[in-house]
Chains A and B, each alone.
Chain A
Amino acid sequence: MDTNDQYGGRRRIPGRARLVMAACAAALTLTAGLATPLDPAPRQAAAADDGKKVLTVAVAQSVDSLSPFLAVRLLSTSIHRLTYEYLTNYDPEDNRVIPGLATEWKSSPDKLTWTYTIRSDSRWSDGEQATAEDAAWTFNTMMTDEGAATANGSFVANFEKVTAPSPTELVIRLKKPQATMTALDVPIVPRHVWEKVGDYSKFNNDKEFPVVGNGPFVLTGYKADSYVRLKANKDFWRGAPKFDELVFRYYKDQDAAVSALRKGEVSFVAGSPSLTPAQAASLRTEKNIRVNDAPGRRFYALATNPGARAKNGERMGDGHPSLLDRRVRHALFMAVDRKTIIDKVFQGHAVEGAGYIPPRFSQYFWKPSAEQELAYDPAGAARLLDRAGYRKNGDGERVGEDGKPLTYRILCHATDPNDKAIGQYLQEWWGDLGIGVTLDCLDNVTDPWLAGEYDLAFDGWSVNPDPDFVLSIHTCAALPATPKDTGATDNFICDEKYDELYARQLAEYDPEKRAGIVKQLQSRLYDLGYMNVMAYPNAVEAYRTDQIESITTMPAKAGNIYGQDGYWSWWSAVPADSGDTGGGPSSTGVVAGIVGGAVVLAGLGAFVAMRRRATAEDRE
């Protein structure tokens, strides 16, 4: 071959052979994968080869941080629920407060001192005893270190002093009464591990595994945007989980996650925030897959601008003045056909809206009485508008006293298909009333929202078992200090009567009485007409029944699985006996391996043959 110096002396590989080589390289890359893992699928799914029962959950969210002082995302806080105990927990039956790290608690007559009894049967995974001292240290660190207050600082904002007089006694002294003291969703961390951390604002708790904890699972591995791995804590005081391992695998694309469920690579798909109606429908027909269409914890509302103001009284934004008339707000909502929205937009995966708090939280759920209810009644809405002075002109447009036709801007999330679909219905329904509607669908609605530059807006919040937070965002105290500031307010609502009720519920320590006040609050909010709840979207999720035999939903009767307030679902999940994902993946691997090997061999053979022929040609 070297003899062809006429054309340059360097040895060259004939073109066709190069093509074959490239093909071989490609084939090798491809078949390497094919040929290797002889058990591709079942490893993550149910019974792995070493007999371990592994529960794999497909999640779409990235972990923001694994430090309980920094994490705020649902996935991360769910992992903390699984790996650390909180003082209290919520009953999966009905969301009522039940013991966690604390076995019981009591408040002083002046309502300012809370004493918790800490259980003595909870051990950290490194063998140390979990004590009241750990809890006191956790709260004190959050109170004194700004970095440690990043995620949960609001829980300790009203704390004056936290002490641990004995290993089983925790005492919290408050500045003013606070009814949410049994809903402190703060992971208690082991002091002996965490006091060595330097800067809490930078420490992400994701370098050394296993992470010392005392929850039902121990965090044993994490790789960003790939997986989070946990193993069962066999010594957990409430009893060991039934699965040996729990893996959260990251699927950015929901269709891919659904495919993984179909194949059996994962046991559970949560959806973010929910499976689409199409995905749910296609999974329903699948064998061994159960779709859990559970009442959600969100409400989906139509918010109206109440004439936004800052705390200093300065006006903000440009909300339509006609919306200051309660009759107009009520008329608008009366022309919204909630049933059509449930049937057509949510395709049945939602419940018709009533009060502010979803029915899932039965303790606090409220719905309007028959005479109070703003039922769907377009004719009544038209009459109400007439009475308010907005009558139809010759062109069928409603005009006010200034002679200008009514036109409203609705702020909508461009990323939410429901917003857009409902917006189109509103254009139609309100159009019939003679009201014009412009949909402002934006990728980022925060800027106009915070500036109060909207007439109406699609709004929604996830509600916690303790409703204090979602109620607090409609108080006058939540308004921004000046128009330049950002407040905690949701929709600039500021109502004296509401504020008075809000303060009363926060100081009411009797759960029944407090629930009563919370219901009055919702009634007031309903009458004001600034927050009109249209629906409670369901949480639609799915799991494989050949991998998970049973799992606890929350609430027990009809509830969701992913993102519960507590560790109930994964702690209670019972592996199915079969464990096999069907389709015999291990034999698949063998077949694939043989095929792959054959392709590589054939490629090599062809390569050698062509090389020889080419060499012969070159010699001519």
Chain B
Amino acid sequence: MTADAASAPVEGTGAAGPAKDGPAARGPRVRTATAYPRYVAGKVAGAAVSLLAVLVTGFFLFRLIPGDPVKFMTGGRQVSAEQLAAYRREFGLDLPLWRQFTDYCGKALTGDLGTSYQFSAPVIDKITEALPNTLLLTGTAFVLYTALGILLGTRAAWRHGRLGDRLGTGLALTLYSLPSFWLGLLLIITLSVGIGPLPGLFPTGGMESGGEEGLAYVLDVAHHLVLPVVTLVAVEYGQTLLVTRSALLDEMGSDYLTTARAKGLRDDLVRRRHAVPNALLPTVTLIFINLGRTVAGVILVETVFSWPGLGGLFYQALSVPDLPLVQGLFLVFAAAVILMNTLADLLYPLFDPRVGR
């Protein structure tokens, strides 16, 4: 996550950078009507190649994990040699590696991700079962921490150096550096169990009490959603805040802002209509990176709050290793990131017309 934070802004300006001085560096380029479609085609093709690479690496990468799935599944109980052989046949582990690989590729291309070893259920079912739960949690948190990060970030930059900025940025940095599981546990102990005169307000974990229907179910889930979302927002919003703040600070001295002020615009409007749009590119990059990550779930927060999402599923799959499930999840996670990055690439020209020209 820290790596993302560091690379995000760089990547953002990187995307815009070559384009800015592209014409000068590579000599005159003729603008044609096909420029944007060609840009799009290039990006989409790149994404397709990445996805294929993921498909292949996923297969071999997870076969490097030490451990024999059959031994793990049969450990600690009485199994006959016939049962062991049956397991291997069932999992296709008795086939040579190249056959396993071609089977896997062939099936994956038709949308069949195989059957989970440990749950004896189609991988696709296990993923679609947990995906909405993860999206509900990470999606809600994403919307909140992005909005909060941008709002507080622009304000902090606009009034940089003042007490408000120092406090706000300091708080954001502090929360950003907290381990999410620790903060989560702290919230459980204080807000969920209750401490001193404070009663327990929220459930200690899970996504639902079970048995509710209709509106009661929706409200019950919302009730369970509060603490994990608060944890995620608290830990994550600092990143957006810092990126937005520094990008905006870069723009602060620009001449066009002086011009805008000279026109007699209110400070608020100068910031909103002139400074922020120009400073948004790194933040947009970060937003899409975060959006791609929402699918992968958040293992630690999911664990502390016993949220039945993809993060926990991935952990369980790795510990066997439950190869079809691991590969399927890896593919879905990677596809989400690739999709979002491609989408970001396609959207850059809208924010900065110099990109993709």
Contacts of A43 in B (CB 8 A): 209
Contact of B68 among A30, A450, A462, A472 (CB under 8 A): A450
B205 with A253: CB separation less than 8 A: yes
A206 to B269, CA, bound (A): 58
Contact of B84 among A29, A486, A617, A620 (CB under 8 A): A486
Tell me if A221 is interfacial: C-beta within 8 Å of chain B.
yes
Question: Scoring A residues 122 to 161 as 1 if CB is less than 8 Å from chain B, else 0, what string do you get?
Answer: 0000000000000000000000001101100111010000
Name the distance in Å between B212's Cβ and chain A's nearest Cβ. 8
Question: Scoring A residues 246 to 268 as 1 if CB is less than 8 Å from chain B, else 0, what string do you get?
Answer: 01011111011101101101000
Tell me if B345 is interfacial: C-beta within 8 Å of chain A.
no
Question: Count the B residues whose beta carbon is within 8 Å of the partner chain — how many?
Answer: 82
A34-B223, A250-B306 are contacts. A202–B79 as well, Cβ < 8 Å? Answer: no
A26 to B237, CA, bound (A): 13
A409 to B84, CA, bound (A): 30
A64 with B119: CB separation less than 8 A: yes
A444 to B320, CA, bound (A): 10
Q: Which residues of A, 6-21, contact B by the 8 Å Cβ criterion?
A: 7-8, 12, 14-15, 18-19
Name the distance in Å between A213's Cβ and chain B's nearest Cβ. 20
Contacts of A154 in B (CB 8 A): 77-80, 83
Looking at chain B's contact residues, is the secondary structure mostly helix, strand, loop, or mixed?
Answer: helix
A256 with B185: CB separation less than 8 A: yes
Tell me if B131 is interfacial: C-beta within 8 Å of chain A.
no
Tell me if A32 is interfacial: C-beta within 8 Å of chain B.
yes
A176 to B53, CA, bound (A): 55
B199 with A591: CB separation less than 8 A: yes
Contact of A44 among B194, B209, B303 (CB under 8 A): B209
Contacts of A62 in B (CB 8 A): 316
Contacts of A260 in B (CB 8 A): 204-205
Segment with Cβ contacts to A, from B20-28, B41-49, B140-148, B346-354: B140-148
In the complex formed, the residue of B with least CB distance to A60 is: B306
A33-B226, A591-B199 are contacts. A446–B119 as well, Cβ < 8 Å? Answer: no
Contact of A588 among B115, B201, B229, B304 (CB under 8 A): B201
In the complex formed, the residue of B with least CB distance to A8 is: B273
Name the distance in Å between A261's Cβ and chain B's nearest Cβ. 9
A29 with B222: CB separation less than 8 A: yes
Tell me if A427 is interfacial: C-beta within 8 Å of chain B.
no
Name the distance in Å between B280's Cβ and chain A's nearest Cβ. 14
Question: Scoring B residues 57 to 91 as 1 if CB is less than 8 Å from chain A, else 0, what string do you get?
Answer: 00000000111101111111111111110110010
Question: Scoring A residues 313 to 332 as 1 if CB is less than 8 Å from chain B, else 0, what string do you get?
Answer: 00000000000000000000
A32 with B222: CB separation less than 8 A: yes
A33 with B192: CB separation less than 8 A: no
Contacts of A588 in B (CB 8 A): 199-201
B147 with A22: CB separation less than 8 A: yes
Contacts of B273 in A (CB 8 A): 7-8
Q: Which residues of B, 115-156, contact A by the 8 Å Cβ criterion?
A: 115, 118-121, 126, 129-130, 140, 144, 147-148, 151
In the complex formed, the residue of B with least CB distance to A595 is: B201
Tell me if B97 is interfacial: C-beta within 8 Å of chain A.
no
A14 with B268: CB separation less than 8 A: yes
A214 to B223, CA, bound (A): 36
A256 with B308: CB separation less than 8 A: no
Question: Count the A residues whose beta carbon is within 8 Å of the partner chain — how many?
Answer: 80
Tell me if A349 is interfacial: C-beta within 8 Å of chain B.
no
A40 to B206, CA, bound (A): 13
Contacts of B78 in A (CB 8 A): 154-155, 468-469, 472, 488
A62-B316, A154-B78 are contacts. A265–B229 as well, Cβ < 8 Å? Answer: no
By CB atoms of chain B within 10 A, which of A15, A22, A70, A225 has the most?
A225
In the complex formed, the residue of B with least CB distance to A41 is: B200
A257 to B206, CA, bound (A): 10
Contacts of B271 in A (CB 8 A): 15
Name the distance in Å between A70's Cβ and chain B's nearest Cβ. 5
Contact of A157 among B72, B82, B130, B211 (CB under 8 A): B82
A263 with B204: CB separation less than 8 A: yes
Q: Which residues of B, 199-248, contact A by the 8 Å Cβ criterion?
A: 199-211, 216, 219-220, 222-226, 229-230, 233
A22-B148, A224-B129, A250-B308 are contacts. A34–B226 as well, Cβ < 8 Å? Answer: yes
Tell me if A36 is interfacial: C-beta within 8 Å of chain B.
yes
A202 with B66: CB separation less than 8 A: no
Name the distance in Å between B141's Cβ and chain A's nearest Cβ. 10
A256 with B204: CB separation less than 8 A: yes
In the complex formed, the residue of A with least CB distance to B77 is: A72
A583 to B316, CA, bound (A): 36
A72-B77, A226-B308, A250-B306 are contacts. A446–B67 as well, Cβ < 8 Å? Answer: yes
Please give the residue numbers on chain A whose beta carbons come within 8 Å of chain B beta carbons, in ascending order. 7-8, 12, 14-15, 18-19, 22, 25-26, 29-30, 32-34, 36-37, 40-41, 43-44, 62, 64-65, 67, 70, 72, 146-147, 149-150, 153-155, 157, 201-202, 204, 221, 223-227, 229, 247, 249-253, 255-257, 259-260, 262-263, 265, 442-444, 446-447, 450, 461-462, 468-469, 472, 486, 488, 583-585, 588, 591-592, 617, 620
Mind listing 25 A-B residue pairs with CB under 8 Å?
A: A29-B229, A30-B230, A36-B219, A37-B216, A37-B219, A40-B201, A40-B203, A40-B223, A64-B119, A64-B120, A72-B74, A72-B77, A149-B86, A150-B83, A225-B312, A251-B205, A253-B181, A255-B185, A255-B188, A259-B192, A259-B193, A263-B192, A263-B204, A446-B66, A469-B78
Please give the residue numbers on chain B whose beta carbons come within 8 Å of chain A beta carbons, in ascending order. 65-68, 70-84, 86-87, 90, 115, 118-121, 126, 129-130, 140, 144, 147-148, 151, 181, 185, 188-189, 192-194, 199-211, 216, 219-220, 222-226, 229-230, 233, 265-266, 268-269, 271-273, 302-306, 308, 312-313, 316
